[in-house]
Structure 1
C-alpha cells in the first residue's frame, strides 16, 4: 500500500484545488525533516539515498535563491543567479552520477536489486517531510530509472516498471496543479498577476525559507551582498567598472538587436532527447537558434590531442543538418573567471577541437559558463578567434520547475526589453514544455527570430510561412495513433466491418496526414485484448514515447456496451476481444478509465473516435472560439467523438465494407469536414460534419465533447496539399459511395453555421466551426484544387470545373489546376477545351510528364494524330520507365 501514497496525495490535491488556502497544507505539517534517513540498505543503496537527499537540497536552495528577485539590487540578482546556476550545474553532475549508480545496481544481477530500488521509491513516494513540489526534483531521475528497468523482462522488473509509471503519472499531475495556478492568468501578463495567484506556491517557498536563507547559501559560495548603497553624485567610472567595460567591449549583447527581434540560444547540451525535441519545435516556427554545447558531452581528446567523439556528437550532427548553429560552451562548464593559464585555454580549445571534428565550419561563437569572464579569459578567447555571446533575457529554466512560469517570465522580459538574446537550456523537459507557448506569443506579437550568418545575428530574408497562426495550431512534434478493430469476438456476436474500418483509418493517417507508420499502433482481433489495449496506452505511449508537444489519435471499432449503475447513472464500456458478457465490469474497459488515460497522456492534444454505441461518459461542454487557433498550442485538448448512444446498433452498410460512421469519418478527413475552408480540420469541425450526416442516413446519433482535463485545446488535422494530376488512371468512387456522399453532404454544416449534437449522457450541445485562419491566395488556390479533386471523384463535373477555375483565378500559373481542369473537360468528351488546358499545364510546368500523356490523349480523341504522337514521345522522353510508358508505346504503335 505504501507505493499508493503519492497517488492519494495527488488526488486529494486535485479535489481540493479550488479551496482557499494552501493545498500543500492539506498534506499535513511535516513531522520530520526531508533529510530523514531511508530504510537500512546496502552501502550502495545508502549512497544513492544520500545523493537523492542532496539533489533535493540543491533543488530547494535554487528556489530560495531566485524567489522574490525584485527585492534585490541588480548586483544582488546577478550574484544570486550566478550562485544558483553553479548549484544547478553541480546538481546536474550529481544526477548523472546518481543515474549511473542506479544503472550499475540494476545491471548487477543481485536478487535484492529490485527491493533496493523499491526502498528508494518509498522515499520519493512517501518520505517524511517531502512536499509535492519537492518531488519534482526527482522527475528526470525517475524517467531514467523507468528506461533502465524496461531493459529487464523479469516479473519483478515488470512490476517495478508499473510502479514507476504510476509515480510518473502522479508527478505529471503535481506539475499540472502548479501550472493551473498560473494558467488562470496566463496571457494577461500584468505585473501583479502571478503574485495574486501563487499563494499555493508561496506556501511551499515559505516552508523552504524555514530551512534555508539566501544569504547563507550565497556565503557558502563565497558571496556576501553589500548593504544597499545610498545615492551618490555621479562620478567617473570606478576602476572595477572600467575594467568590466573593457571586458564587455567586442562581445555580443542582445540589447543591440533591432526592435522586436530575438535570438534563441540553448546551453549545456547536447542532450540525447531534449535537444532534438527542441529542434523539432523550432522547425515548426521556422525559428533559427544557437546551441552552445559543453565539450565533454560531445567527446574527449586522446593523448595526441585528437578528438574522440561520443553519442552526443551524433546529436550535434543532426542539429547541424537541420540548420542550427553549433557553438562552444567550454569543456567542463567550469567558472572560467577563476581559471588561468593552460587550464583556461584547454577549456576553450578542447571543445573547439571537438566541434571542428563534428562540423569543420563550426561557428566562432562562445558563451562563458555562468557569464563569468575576466580579462585573461577574454584574451584567450581572442587568441582562439572566438567571439563571446552574452544574453539579456534569462528564462531561469534551470531554476523554475513549472513550465508555464518559465514561459511567463520570458514573455514579461521580452515585453520589457523589446529585443534580446534569450538564454535557455536544452537539458530539461520543462524547457521543451515551455517553448511552444513562448514562440506562439512572440509570433503573435510580431517578433522576428534572428540567426547567425557567420558575422552577425540577422533576420533571414526569407518570408515566414503563411499563415503564422497555422504554425501555432498544428505545431506538433510527433503524431501518434492507436487503432483498434475487432471482428472475431470470442464471446460476443461477430462483426463484419470493424477490422476494415481500423485498417482504413490507419492508412489514411499514414498516407494523407503523414503519421509515421511506426507511430501507428494497430491492434486487430486477437491482439485487442483488454490487457493489450491498456498496455498500448500505458507502455507504448504514455511513458517514454509521447512527448508534451505531440498529438495522439485513438480509433476503436468494435462492440460497445452500457451498464446501469445502482445510482441510476449509465456507465459505458468498450468491449475487448476477450470480454465475457457476464463479466462486463471486470473484462471490458469502462469509459471512466478512458477518461483517466486521456488525462494522463503527456501529449498536447488527443482525439478519441469510437465506432461503437454506448452511453455513460460525462463530457465537458466545449464551444468554438474565434481566436482559438492563436492560443491552441498552449491549451491541452482531450476530445471524443462516438458513433451512437445506448441501445443503438452501428450501421455497417457503408461503401467499401465500412460502417456508415467510419465511411463518413473518412470522407470528413478527406477534406469535407473543413467547414471554414482554411485547410485545417479541428475536432469540432469533424464532429460538426460527421454527427448530423450520420444521423441523417442511419438510426445512430453520434455524440461529441471535451473530456475532463481538457483546457479548450483542439486536435487539428492539417490537410496536405494534393499533388495528383488527374489522368485516365485516377480512380473515382463507386455509384453507391457517390449516392451515400450525396445524402451526407446534404446535411453538412454551412461554414458559418452551428449544429446541435448529442453528448454521451443524452443531452444536447451546440458546436460550431472556428473562425477560419487567414490564408494567402496561393493557399486558397490549393484548397480550391483539392475540393475539385473530391468533386471529380464523385463525378460532379460541373462543380469540379468551378473549383479548378477558381484555383486558376487565384493562381494563374497553377499547372496542377490547369491539368485537372483539362481532364474534367476530357472526361466530358470536350477534347478541344481539354487540349488547350493541357497545353497550358505543360507551358507552366514543362517537366510534368503526365500532362503530356493527357495532352496526347486529348489530341488523339480530337483527331490530331501528329500532335498526339509528339505528346506521347515527349512523355516517353521524360518518363521512359513511368507507369504509362507501355500505354504511350501502344498508342504510338497505332499511329
Structure 2
C-alpha cells in the first residue's frame, strides 16, 4: 500500500514556517525617488541561495517524518523536537528572503530583471520535484503582495505569473492529497509545469541526500539510541522539558502549568496560536460560533504593536481584532513578543519576550486573561519563574494538530481525531494564521460533536465546560451572529467552512428507455446536476457516481448503493446526495395502499413489480447506508412512500452543532401519482430540475448563511414548481431519520463579469421572474410561519428553515456577490448593482466585487462610476486581466482613447491568448 502524503505531512513544516513569518506583515511604503539606490539590490543568486536553504530544511523534515507510522513513541518525540529545531532555524532564512523581496520590489523601477531568475528557479529548475516546490508556496504569496506595490507593467506581469504558480502549487497539493497518478491531457498550462511524481518516489529521491539517523545525529541524537531520546538531548533541553510534565488523565490540573489531561472525559479545549490574523481569525471565530464552542487565542506581540525602550506601548491595527475577541467572550493569551525559542533565552531578553507582550495585552484590556503559552512549548526554569512572579499560568497542550507542518486539511482533521481518541480529552493546539486550519476546523468540530464531545473554555481558574451566557470563553451565538470585522486581503477566498465530512453523490438520468416512452430531458438534467455539485457545491469528481441511459439498469443502480459507495470509502460522518431523473410509477396494491417505483432503463412496462425499484427498497438502502445525512431528489412523479419514523426537526438551538448529532434521511419528489413531469424548462431541462439548479446555485439559501439545508431546498422548490406547473412536489423524512438535515455548502463564485459573460435566455429570465415572485413570498413566510408543502403521502405539512448559522464578513460579502451575479445574468442590473455595492462595503478590498460593480455600471451606461470601480479593482489586484478590458471599454465611451489603448495593451500583455484578446486587438485597431 502506498504511503499517503496525508500520513507523512508533518514533513512539510517549512511551509508553515513561511506563513508564520508572514503573519501580520504589512506592506512597507514605497521609498522616495532615489532612496532605493542608496543600497545595492540583492542579486537573484543570493535569493536563490536562501531558497535552497529553505528547501534543504523542507527536505530534512520530510525525511524525518516520512516513516512516521513505523516509528516508536520515543522516535516520534525525537523527530518532533528536531523538526521544530529545523523549523526554528529556518526562520532566519525566511527573514532574509522577506527582506530581499522587499528591497527588490520597492521603488518605481520594473523588478522583472531581478525577480525573473528567482521565479525561473522555482518554476523550472530540473533538480526540483513537484513536492520540493511546496516549500516555496507561502513565500510566493508574500512576494506577490510585495509586487502589488509596484505599478510598472513588468510588475503587473510578475503578479500574474506568481498567481499562476500558486494555482499550480494548489494543484500539486491536491494531487498528492488524492494520490492522483494519471496525467490529464486537458490541463491548463501554467508557469510551473507539473511532473506528477509519486510521493514515495520523491521520498526515495530525498534518501539520496539525507538519512533520518544523520539528521537526528546532527541535532544531538546519537543513533541508534533514539529510544532514549529525552536522555540524549542537551542539558538545556532536559532542563526545559523537566520543568513540568502532564499529570495522569483525570487528575485535576491546578497549575502553574496546564496540559489538558485534567479535563473530564470527552471534553476538549480549542486553542489557536500566533495571531491575530486579519482574515483567518475572523474565519475561525465564525466556525466556533457555528458550533457554539469557546476558543482561546495565544497572540504574538509583534502582531499587536510595539513597546518603546521606556515601556510605552504602541498598538497596531491588528490589536483591534484582539479587542473584539475579548469583547465577544473569547480568551486572548500571551504567546511572547517575537515567537522566539524561549528555552534558549535568559535574563533581560527573556523578561522582554514575556513582559512586553503582556504590556500590549493590558493596553488592549487591563483585565486581560493571565495566560501564557511558550512558543514551541520550549521553556526553561527561569521562564517559569517569571510567569510565577507575574501570576501567569502556562498553558501547554496534549493534542497537536500539526497544522504548522501539514498543509492538507483532511490530514490535519484525521490527526486531531486520532490524538483526541487516544487521549480521550485535552487541549488542542491549532494556529489561526493558516488557511488550511480554517478548512480543517469544521471537519474536526462536526466529528467531535457527532461523537459526543463537549468544549471547554477558561473560566478564570481552569478550563471547564462552558454554557451559553458564561462570561468568559464562550460566544453566545444568539446574542451576535456576526463574526469580528476583518480587512480581507486581496487573496484567494477561503473555502466556506460548514461542510461536515465528505460529500458523495449518485446521479442517475435516463432518456433512452428500452420499453417505456423515451424522454428528452433526463440525461441532460443529470449531467447539469452533476456539474453543479462539482463546480459550486464542493463535491469531488471521484465522489460522484453517474449512471445515464443504458448504464442505469436495475442492477447497476442497486450496486452503486450496495457496492460502489462502501468500497469507495463512504463514512459515517459523510453526506450522500441522490438525484434521479426518469420515469416513476405508482402501483395500487390490493390492500388499498399505493407503492411508488422508479423505473430503470431496461424495465418492462408490464413487469413493474419485478423490474423496477420500489420505494421500500430505497428506504431500506437509506437506512443501511453509513452516511450521516442522505437526501434523495427525484425528478419523477409517484406516490406510496413509507411513514416517517424518528426524531423531529431541529429547533432554534445551534443548528450545525445539533445537526451533527442527528442522522438525516430526506426525500424531495417532483410530484405525486397521476402527475406528469413538466418538460419545457429553459435549456432543455424539466421545470423541476431547472428550479433545483437555481436553488442549489444559491437561491434556496433562504436565511442567508451560505448553506442550504434539505428543508430550505424543499421550501424553495415545492411552492415555486407548483406555481408554474401542474406538479405538487413532496418532501419529508424517510424511515431511520432522526431529524437531521442534509447540508449543501455554497462555494464562492469567482467569475469576473465582462462583455463575454453569458446571460440567461429570454425564456429562462421569464421563468425565473415567475419563480422569484413565489419564492419572495415564501422567504418572508418561512422566516415567520413556515411554508406549507406536501409530505411524502400527499398531505399538507408546514416546514421552516433552521435559524441561520453565523458567517464571517468575508462569507457574507461573497454571498452578496454571488447573488448579484444571479441578478446580472437575469439582466436585473439595479438589483445586481445594489448587491455588489453591499458586498464591497463589507469587504472593501474585494477586487472581484469591485470589477463586477464597475461592469454593472457600464451596462447601465454610467461610465464615470464604471471607470471608478474598475480602477479600484486593479488597485486591489493589479493582475486581473478582465478588469483592464472592462476599463478600456469604459474609457472609450468617455472619449479617452489613449488611456483605453493602454488598458487594452496591458490586457494583451497579461493574457495574450485570453478569451477577450481579439476584442482588445479590435479595440486598439479601431482607435
- TM range, normalised to the smaller chain? 0.5 to 0.7
1:680 CA displacement = 0.8
Match of 2:604 in 1: 580
Match of 1:744 in 2: 771
Q: Of 610, 614, 635, which aligns to 2:634?
A: 610
Structure 2 Cα separation of the partners of residues 452 and 442 of structure 1: 28
- How do 1:6-85 and structure 2 match up within 5 A? none
1:863 CA displacement = 1.9
Q: Of 694, 708, 713, which aligns to 1:686?
A: 713
Residues 620, 357 of structure 1: alpha-carbon distance in 2 compared, 3 angstrom cutoff = farther
Residues 273, 725 of structure 1: alpha-carbon distance in 2 compared, 3 angstrom cutoff = closer
1:440–1:631 Cα contact (<8 Å) kept: no
Q: Of 563, 584, 608, which aligns to 2:587?
A: 563
Structure 2 Cα separation of the partners of residues 780 and 441 of structure 1: 14
Structure 1 Cα separation of the partners of residues 704 and 516 of structure 2: 43
Residues 411, 583 of structure 1: alpha-carbon distance in 2 compared, 3 angstrom cutoff = farther
Match of 1:815 in 2: 847
Match of 1:594 in 2: 618
SS at match of 1:686: helix
1:713 CA displacement = 2.1
**Which 5+ residue runs of structure 2 have no aligned equivalent?**
12-19, 21-61, 73-78, 80-130, 136-171, 175-206, 251-260, 273-286, 299-372, 380-395, 397-428, 447-496
Q: In the alignment, is residue 480 of structure 1 matched against residue 504 of structure 2? A: yes
1:808–1:818 Cα contact (<8 Å) kept: yes
Q: Which moved more, 1:818-827 or 1:529-538?
A: 818-827
Match of 1:88 in 2: none
- How do 1:540-551 and structure 2 match up within 5 A? 540-551=564-575
Deviation digits for residues 459-515 of structure 1 (CA, Å, limit 9, x no counterpart):
535387499879648344422211111111111111111011011101111122232
Structure 2 Cα separation of the partners of residues 319 and 447 of structure 1: 30
Q: TM-score, normalised by structure 2?
A: 0.52
Residues 809, 383 of structure 1: alpha-carbon distance in 2 compared, 3 angstrom cutoff = closer
Aligned residues: 543
Structure 2 Cα separation of the partners of residues 705 and 655 of structure 1: 27
Residues 842, 296 of structure 1: alpha-carbon distance in 2 compared, 3 angstrom cutoff = closer
SS at match of 1:523: strand
Structure 1 Cα separation of the partners of residues 529 and 794 of structure 2: 27
Q: In the alignment, is residue 725 of structure 1 matched against residue 767 of structure 2? A: no
Residues 363, 539 of structure 1: alpha-carbon distance in 2 compared, 3 angstrom cutoff = farther
Match of 1:104 in 2: none
Structure 2 Cα separation of the partners of residues 658 and 543 of structure 1: 33
Q: In the alignment, is residue 803 of structure 1 matched against residue 832 of structure 2? A: no
1:610–1:642 Cα contact (<8 Å) kept: yes
Structure 2 Cα separation of the partners of residues 277 and 597 of structure 1: 37
1:781–1:811 Cα contact (<8 Å) kept: yes
- How do 1:513-528 and structure 2 match up within 5 A? 513-528=537-552
Structure 2 Cα separation of the partners of residues 385 and 355 of structure 1: 28
Deviation digits for residues 254-286 of structure 1 (CA, Å, limit 9, x no counterpart):
xxxxxxxxxxxxxxxx9979969999xxxxxxx
Residues 505, 872 of structure 1: alpha-carbon distance in 2 compared, 3 angstrom cutoff = same
Residues 535, 857 of structure 1: alpha-carbon distance in 2 compared, 3 angstrom cutoff = same
Q: In the alignment, is residue 497 of structure 1 matched against residue 524 of structure 2? A: no
1:703–1:757 Cα contact (<8 Å) kept: yes
Residues 375, 361 of structure 1: alpha-carbon distance in 2 compared, 3 angstrom cutoff = closer
1:529–1:578 Cα contact (<8 Å) kept: yes
Match of 1:647 in 2: 674
Q: TM-score, normalised by structure 1?
A: 0.54
SS at match of 1:379: helix
Match of 1:255 in 2: none
Deviation digits for residues 67-117 of structure 1 (CA, Å, limit 9, x no counterpart):
xxxxxxxxxxxxxxxxxxxxxxxxxxxxxxxxxxxxxxxxxxxxxxxxxxx
Residues 439, 838 of structure 1: alpha-carbon distance in 2 compared, 3 angstrom cutoff = closer
Match of 1:101 in 2: none
- How do 1:234-633 and structure 2 match up within 5 A? 297-298=69-70, 357=211, 379=231, 412-413=264-265, 415=267, 444-446=293-295, 453=376, 455=378, 460=431, 462=433, 465=438, 472=446, 474-620=498-644, 622-626=648-652, 627-633=654-660
1:809 CA displacement = 2.1
SS at match of 2:735: coil
2:756–2:916 Cα contact (<8 Å) kept: no
Structure 1 Cα separation of the partners of residues 503 and 511 of structure 2: 27
Deviation digits for residues 114-155 of structure 1 (CA, Å, limit 9, x no counterpart):
xxxxxxxxxxxxxxxxxxxxxxxxxxxxxxxxx9xxxxxxxx
Residues 451, 478 of structure 1: alpha-carbon distance in 2 compared, 3 angstrom cutoff = farther
Match of 2:879 in 1: 847
User: Rg bigger for which structure?
Assistant: 1
1:293 CA displacement = 8.7
- How do 1:669-818 and structure 2 match up within 5 A? 669-748=696-775, 749-750=778-779, 752-753=783-784, 754-818=786-850
1:668–1:690 Cα contact (<8 Å) kept: yes
1:624–1:769 Cα contact (<8 Å) kept: no
Structure 2 Cα separation of the partners of residues 637 and 469 of structure 1: 19
Structure 1 Cα separation of the partners of residues 64 and 660 of structure 2: 27
Match of 1:833 in 2: 865
SS at match of 1:730: coil
> Greater relative contact order (Cα 8 A, min sep 6): structure 1 or 2?
2
Match of 2:92 in 1: none
Residues 276, 638 of structure 1: alpha-carbon distance in 2 compared, 3 angstrom cutoff = farther
Structure 2 Cα separation of the partners of residues 278 and 757 of structure 1: 51
Q: Of 644, 659, 665, which aligns to 2:686?
A: 659
Structure 2 Cα separation of the partners of residues 701 and 299 of structure 1: 61
Q: In the alignment, is residue 868 of structure 1 matched against residue 894 of structure 2? A: no
1:847 CA displacement = 1.7
Match of 2:283 in 1: none
Structure 2 Cα separation of the partners of residues 744 and 851 of structure 1: 33
Residues 354, 623 of structure 1: alpha-carbon distance in 2 compared, 3 angstrom cutoff = farther
1:728 CA displacement = 0.4
Structure 1 Cα separation of the partners of residues 803 and 630 of structure 2: 21
1:451–1:459 Cα contact (<8 Å) kept: no
1:844 CA displacement = 2.3
Deviation digits for residues 344-402 of structure 1 (CA, Å, limit 9, x no counterpart):
xxxxxxxxx99985799889999xxxxxx99988535779989799765769xxxxxxx
Structure 2 Cα separation of the partners of residues 711 and 272 of structure 1: 36
